[in-house]
Structure 1
Amino acid sequence: MKHLVIIGAVWPEPNSTAAGSRMLQLLSLFQNHEYKITFLSSATPSDFSFDLSSIGIQTKAIQLNNSSFDSIIKELNPNVVLFDRFMIEEQYSWRVMENCPNALRILDTEDLHFLRKAREVAFKQNRELVFEDYISDTFKREMASIYRCDITLLISEYEMQLATETFKIDTSLLYYLPFLSEKTPFNSASFKERKNFVSIGNFLHEPNWQTVLQLKKYWKSIKTQLPEAELHVYGAYVTEKAKQLHNEKEGFLIKGRAESVAEIYAKAKVLLAPIPYGAGLKGKLFEAMNLGLPSITTRIGAEGMHGKLAWNGFITSDENDFVEKAVELYTNKSFWETAQNNGYEIIKKRFKKELFATDFMNKIEHLQGNLKKHRNQNFLGQILQHQSLQSTKYMSKWIEVKNGK
């Protein structure tokens, strides 16, 4: 039985973040191909961390900047190691290379951090993004991480295009693997049975917080035209500044953590997601389509999701248009039902698990069987391994010695 080791930035919280759901999807892919899986992390589990042992996955706590990891990874002796985000690759890949040189190394980006950072800078300066915004320290670190790994998973078609066309990364080093759906569209609650608007997103994630601020700005105009409607804002880790936005009289309700997204989406009529910036795919919109809930979002929100298919509602970044479309989708049964069906079509044609699972695992098997040749062709990766990881390695050793004293 082959062995996969995942080194996680955090313990997965699928009910708190889209990244947590994504991680469980990856685990499922490897389990379905009879891999033994061990999940390692130096993070402290939270009350909401998923119980990985319940699905047969071994777990082990590790220490950052500590040589005890060397013994652990050598004993596990994995065939494949997956790094959860580039920061984890920076911290642990040199140890993996030294102790398990024949293990296939996979980087799961979650989303391209440098893209999200560039867009955040432009957004906060109230201007359009320019090429120079990309070239940050985050960009350099993330790019180096991509080259050092044998294969990098990108979740968005847009990010694949950006990586290959703008930054000329060879396609042999990248693999497009979006969110995966195993659900079959079901007979959800009808238009008449639903009421209220909903929004959802982890409050500690800055783009989600900015989305809530946009909603607060738009809501009064929507409420004026739909006085009986409420907006229910859900999200894990509610901050004090978010709680201050709660207003019963206005119908703007901060609800906190969602125990069941499926139950919330089944009762709501429209998802509002005026996402101003970000990267990757948006889990809230993916789940909305999966569960039959129409949405209104921005170009950034819908990016990489619908291809040439009609959206699951409306896409707009103009405030007045957003308000108009929200009212229209909330009140027009024909528009609403068409939007719901559009969402089902997007899931069926672009995100069904069977569209990707076999090809992905075949890619992993092929790389393992041709690893030496693959690495020899990635000469830039070898240069970066030799140069950049030396500084990481000796910094880590210095920190370990310092901590020991």
Structure 2
Amino acid sequence: MKDLVIIGAVWPEPTSTAAGSRMLQLISLFQKQDYEITFLCSASKSDFSFDLSQISVKTKVIQLNDSSFDSEITALNPNVVLFDRFMIEEQYGWRVMENCPNALRVLDTEDLHFLRKAREMAFKQNRELVFEDYISDVFKREMASIYRCDLTLLISEYEMQLATETFKIDASLLFYLPFLSEEFQTNIPSFEERNHFVSIGNFLHEPNWQTVLQLKQYWKSIKKQLPEAALHVYGAYVSEKAKQLHNEKEGFLIIGRAESVADVYSKAKVLLAPIPYGAGLKGKLFEAMQLGLPSITTEMGAEAMNGNLDWNGFITSNEDDFIEKAVELYTNKNVWETAQKKGYEIIEKRFKKELYETDFMNKIENLKENLNAHRSKNFLGQILQHQSLQSTKYMSKWIESKNS
């Protein structure tokens, strides 16, 4: 039997975040190859945490900055360890290396945090991004984590290009694995059966909050042309400042958590997503394509999703264009139905699970069989494992000593 240990930043919440859905997809890929999986996490569970026991995944609460983890991971003795984001690798990677040196270490970035951070800085300073924005402390930490691992999963083709061409990371250390689609929704309501616009996104995620602020700015102009329409804004963990935007007279409705994205999307006519910055892939747009809901977004929102295929709606570059296209997509049945079909085509040609699962698992098995040779070529990783550079290790030991 093969064993995988996943060390999570949080317990997966697939109804709250795209990251939660992504984690369940990764679990499914490994289970299909007969891996026994144990999920470890130091965070507290919420009411919306997925019950991993339902899918035969063992779980255990672990302690941060505590040597008890050493005995836990030694007893599990996994073949593969998956770190959920670079911060988790910083905290536990050195312990895995010391106690299970032969385990394949895999980093799932979710998205490149340094890229999102750089774009956020440029956006908030109302200027174009420059190369120097990348070179932050987050960049240095994330890059170091990538080199310390045997394989890093990137969710976006743009991020793959950035990593290999701009920052010259050897392609053998990376693997492109986007969101995966297994099947299309059937019996989807028609154009005539739908009403209103929808927006969705976890409010704890700053780009989602900025998207809602953009929508508040645009909405009056859309509402003026479509007085019967409303905008339903869904998202987990609604903040007080978000609740203050709720205005029934304007038809700008802050709804909160969506119990079922499929139900919400099946009733709405158009998804609005004027995303100003971010990284990775946008789960809300991916799910909209799967569920037959056309969308209006920005170049940033659509980044790395449609390749050379037409978008399932419109990609806009300014406020006036966004408003015009939102009205057109909402009112024109032919344009709407064409957009829906384009979304299905993007999913079929770029995100079907069958396009990636075999290559991914072959990569994992090949690395396991040739791990020493693979690591010997990653000399930067070896340098970063050297004790003189292991600041996170000794910080953790200091914290543990202080706490005891």
Q: Shorter-chain TM-score: what band?
A: over 0.9
Name the stretch that deviates more: 389-398 or 293-302. Answer: 389-398
Q: Which residue identity does 1:208 align to in structure 2?
A: N
- Establish whether residue 352 from structure 1 lines up as the match of residue 329 from structure 2: no
Contact 1:106 1:151 in 2 (8 A): yes
In the alignment, the residues of structure 1 paired with residue 395 and residue 225 of structure 2 have an alpha-carbon distance, to the nearest angstrom, of 59
Distance in 1 separating the partners of 2:388 and 2:242: 41
Q: Determine helix, strand or coil for the equivalent of 2:229.
A: coil
Deviation at 1:380, TM superposition (A): 0.7
Residue number in structure 1 paired with 2:323: 323
- What is the match of residue 39 of structure 2? 39
1:104-126 superposed Cα distances (whole Å, 9 cap, x missing partner): 00000000000000000000000
| Residues 118-267 of structure 1: pairs in structure 2 closer than 5 A | 118-267=118-267
2: CA distance, partners of 1:393 / 1:288: 42
- Closer, same or farther: CA 181–128 of 1 in aligned 2, 3 Å: same
Q: Distance in 1 between matches of 2:303 and 2:391?
A: 37
Partner-residue secondary structure (3-state), 1:37: strand
Q: What amino acid sits opposite 2:339 in the alignment?
A: A
1:187 is displaced (CA, Å) by 3.4
| 1:395 partner amino acid | M
The aligned counterpart of 1:274 is 274
Query: Contact 2:113–2:138 (CA<8 Å) still a contact in 1?
Result: yes
Q: Which amino acid aligns with 2:196?
A: N
Distance (whole Å) between structure 1 residues aligned to residue 35 and residue 182 of structure 2? 20
1:389 CA displacement: 5.2
2 CA distance for matches of 1:149 and 1:17?
A: 25
Structure-2 residue corresponding to 1:309: 309
Distance 2:313 2:260 in 1: 23
Instruction: Verify the 8 A CA contact 1:3 1:37 in the aligned structure 2.
Output: yes
* 1:30 equivalent in structure 2: 30
The answer to whether the 8 A contact 2:384-2:390 is kept is no
Measure the CA separation in 2 of the matches of 1:390 and 1:288.
43
What is the SS of the residue equivalent to 2:163? helix
Could you tell me how far 1:186 is from its partner in structure 2?
A: 2.4
* Corresponding residue for residue 15 of structure 1: 15
What amino acid maps onto 2:310 in structure 1?
A
Please name the residue that 2:58 is paired with.
Answer: 58
Please give the per-residue CA displacement for 1:346-399, whole angstroms capped at 9, x wherever unaligned.
000000001001110000000000000000000110001115652211111111
Deviations 1:299-325 (A, max 9, x none): 010001000000010001200010000
1:40-119 matches, cutoff 5 A: 40-119=40-119
CA contact (8 A) 1:312 1:343 kept: yes
Q: Matched residue of 1:382: which SS?
A: helix
Residue 155 of structure 1 contacts residue 177 of structure 1 at CA under 8 Å; is this kept in 2? yes
Cα deviation, residue 183, structure 1: 1.4
Number of aligned residue pairs: 404
1:66-98, CA deviations, whole angstroms, 9 ceiling, x for partnerless residues? 000000000000000000000000000000000
Q: How many angstroms apart in 2 are the aligned matches of 1:381 and 1:282?
A: 30
Q: Distance in 1 between matches of 2:388 and 2:293?
A: 46
Specify the code of the residue in structure 2 equivalent to 1:232.
H
Q: Separation in 1 of the partners of 2:389 and 2:352?
A: 38
Runs of 4+ in 1 over 6 A off after TM superposition: none
When normalised by structure 2's length, the TM-score is 0.99
Aligned equivalents of 1:216 and 1:387: distance in 2? 51
5+ long unaligned stretches in structure 1: none
Q: Structure 2 CA distance, aligned partners of 1:386 and 1:183?
A: 46
Structure 2: stretches of 5+ with no match in the other structure: none
Aligned partners of 2:196 and 2:231 also within 8 Å: yes
Percent of pairs identical after alignment?
A: 83
Q: How many angstroms apart in 1 are the aligned matches of 2:74 and 2:244?
A: 50
1:389 and 1:370 mapped to 2: Cα distance? 26
The whole-number CA distance in structure 2 between the counterparts of 1:10 and 1:389 is 27
1:133–1:387 distance in 2 versus 1, CA, 3 Å: farther
Mapped contact 1:274–1:317 kept (Cα < 8 A): no
Q: Secondary structure at the match of 1:152?
A: strand
Does the CA-based 8 Å contact 1:154-1:175 persist in structure 2? Answer: yes
Conserved? CA contact 2:189–2:266, under 8 Å = yes
TM-score (norm 1): 0.99
Q: Deviations over 1:48-75 (max 9, x none)?
A: 0000011100000000000000000000
SS in 2 for 1:5: strand
Per-residue deviation, 1:268: 0.2
Partners of 2:81 and 2:268 in 1: CA distance: 41
Report the Cα offset of residue 37 of structure 1: 0.1
Counterpart Cα distance in 2 of 1:200 and 1:317: 20
Amino acid at match of 1:361: M
Contact 1:199 1:233 in 2 (8 A): yes
Q: Is the 8 A contact 1:156 1:281 kept in 2?
A: yes
Counterpart of 2:191 in 1: which secondary structure?
A: coil
Q: CA RMSD in A?
A: 0.7
Q: Which amino acid aligns with 2:218?
A: Y
CA distance in 2, matches of 1:85, 1:290: 26
Equivalent-residue separation in structure 1 for 2:91 and 2:32 (angstroms): 29
TM-superposed deviation, 1:278? 0.2
